[in-house]
Amino acid sequence: LAKTTQPISMDSYEGQEVNITCSHNNIATNDYITWYQQFPSQGPRFIIQGYKTKVTNEVASLFIPADRKSSTLSLPRVSLSDTAVYYCLVGDSTGTASKLTFGTGTRLQVTL
């Protein structure tokens, strides 16, 4: 079971790029890396998912090095509305939901 480690909190100013790194040293061959965003008193929302190299969508990029032992979520030009908790998950594409673990996440605070 791949455990993930993320910074507890990060601060940024509006308009800056934010990079949140997640460590998952025990990632298995079949594991995918997924990031979710959660606002207070709401359910998490899927942001991006990847297996290796780089993935980009309309809201974020995900960088995964060749050894896959870490990953970095990149949020370009953050705004106040990006203030939220960000969770990194590592899970098996063929396994069960019991292997999915939402850690404490990274609390991102964006200010003017």
> What residues make contact with other proteins under the rule CB under 8 A?
31-32, 34, 36, 41-46, 49, 87, 89-105
* C-alpha closest to that of 86 among 69, 65, 62, 103: 103
Tally Cβ neighbours within 10 Å of residue 44.
17
Query: Residue 20, SS3?
Result: strand
**Could you tell me the smallest distance in angstroms from the CB atom of residue 52 to other proteins?**
13
Residue nearer to other proteins on the CB measure, 13 or 46: 46
**CB of residue 90 to other proteins, shortest distance in Å:** 8
Residue closer to other proteins, measured from CB, 23 or 101: 101
Using the minimum distance from each CB to other proteins, give the nearer residue, 97 or 112.
97
Distances (CA, A) of 15 to 59, 73, 90: 14, 16, 29
